């Protein structure tokens, strides 16, 4: 009887040792360690952010929080782009612009064809008002329409559009667009301004983009410098500003080269002012 009991104790002890070595979710962390850390031993990625628990342990991020520093960018995005996922002052984009981790899957049509309804916006990455390169395809896949506003710093009506979207007094008031800035602030749509020329009509540079932002300080709008006028050549505008409305896949849905206000009207119809 004593021998049988000893064998049973030995078997239980062996089983306990084996349990301690188990890694049920195959993430490289033992169940025992995950239970102690509060992570889920049945899920390789406890916070479902795309970074498994072992990788989070290596990176020093919080495996229970998808955005460890709460800056709006998920931990794996920051690690991919080289910002610090544990520092809320270290951002992918200083302007807090959107980020699309799947942007490389979008087929870039290039600049060969002219802009027209149904075409996809070519991919570009230009300097914004903070001196950072902004990839336009980061604005895709956000579940929101995107306005692309081609302007020149010299252009009076471009300045009025900037004031309109900032909620300042402007010469476009009274046409049903007055509340669009509140929709922009609410995140109903995204707006990207591209400048291709400075106050004298010459090619734009990053310093002049920063000056535009100092004048029209809209924290919801990235202002990009098209120094080579690539977008200008693609659109071949008949006047300034020229605007187009894109869907979440960056396909043109509204575009009238002769009437930039068509985009403003389309937005006002899609997002009517609250009664």
CA gap 44, 162 in Å, rounded: 47
- The pLDDT assigned to 37 comes to 65
Residues 205 and 104: beta-carbon distance below 8 Å: no
Q: Can you give the pTM of this predicted structure?
A: 0.87
Residues 140 and 123: beta-carbon distance below 8 Å: no
- The pLDDT assigned to 8 comes to 35
- The pLDDT assigned to 20 comes to 56
CA gap 15, 34 in Å, rounded: 19
**Radius of gyration of the chain, Cα coordinates, nearest whole angstrom:** 26
- The pLDDT assigned to 52 comes to 84
CA gap 12, 111 in Å, rounded: 70
- The pLDDT assigned to 31 comes to 72
Give the residues of the chain that fall short of pLDDT 50: 1, 4-17, 275
Residues 195 and 228: beta-carbon distance below 8 Å: no
CA gap 109, 159 in Å, rounded: 31
- Sign of the C-alpha dihedral computed for residues 262, 266, 269 and 272 taken in this order: negative
∠ CA 102-103-104, rounded to 5°: 95
Convert the pLDDT of each residue in 177-228 to its tens digit: 999 999 999 999 999 999 999 999 999 999 999 999 999 999 999 999 999 9
- The pLDDT assigned to 34 comes to 67
> In this structure, which long-range contacts are made by residues 271-275, counting pairs with CB atoms below 8 Å and at least 24 apart in sequence?
271/180, 271/183, 271/188, 271/189, 273/178, 273/179, 274/179
> To the nearest 5 percent, what fractions of the chain are helix, strand and coil?
35, 10, 55
- Round to the nearest angstrom and report the end-to-end CA distance of the chain: 86
- The pLDDT assigned to 161 comes to 98
Domains, the chain, ordered by start? 2-81 (no CATH), 104-270 (3.40.30.10)
- The pLDDT assigned to 39 comes to 74
- The pLDDT assigned to 99 comes to 98
Peptide bond into 83 cis (omega under 30): no
In eight-state DSSP terms, residue 115 is: P
Convert the pLDDT of each residue in 75-92 to its tens digit: 999 999 999 999 999 999
């Amino acid at each position: 009887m004593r021998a049988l009991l000893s064998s049973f104790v030995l078997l239980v002890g062996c089983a306990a040792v084996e349990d301690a070595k188990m890694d049920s979710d195959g993430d490289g962390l033992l169940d025992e360690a995950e239970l102690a850390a509060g992570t889920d031993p049945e899920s390789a990625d406890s916070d479902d952010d795309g970074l498994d628990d072992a990788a989070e342990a290596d990176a020093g991020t919080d495996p229970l929080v998808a955005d460890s520093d709460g800056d709006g960018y998920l931990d794996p995005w920051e690690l991919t782009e080289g910002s610090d996922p544990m520092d809320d002052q270290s951002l992918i984009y200083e302007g807090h612009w959107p980020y699309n981790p799947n942007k490389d899957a979008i087929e870039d049509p290039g600049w060969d064809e002219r802009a027209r309804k149904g075409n996809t916006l070519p991919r570009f990455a230009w300097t914004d008002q903070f001196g950072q390169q902004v990839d336009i395809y980061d604005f895709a896949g956000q579940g929101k329409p995107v306005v692309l506003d081609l302007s020149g710093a010299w252009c009076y009506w471009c300045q009025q559009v900037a004031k309109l979207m900032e909620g300042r007094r402007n010469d476009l008031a009274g046409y049903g667009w007055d509340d669009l800035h509140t929709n922009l602030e609410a995140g109903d749509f995204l707006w990207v301004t591209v400048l291709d020329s400075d106050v004298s009509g010459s090619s734009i540079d990053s310093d002049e983009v920063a000056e535009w932002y100092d004048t029209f300080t809209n924290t919801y709008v990235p202002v990009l410098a098209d120094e080579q006028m690539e977008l200008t050549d693609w659109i071949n505008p008949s006047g300034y500003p020229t605007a187009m409305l894109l869907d979440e896949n960056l396909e043109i849905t509204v575009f009238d080269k002769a009437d930039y206000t068509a985009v403003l009207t389309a937005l006002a119809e899609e997002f009517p002012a609250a009664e």
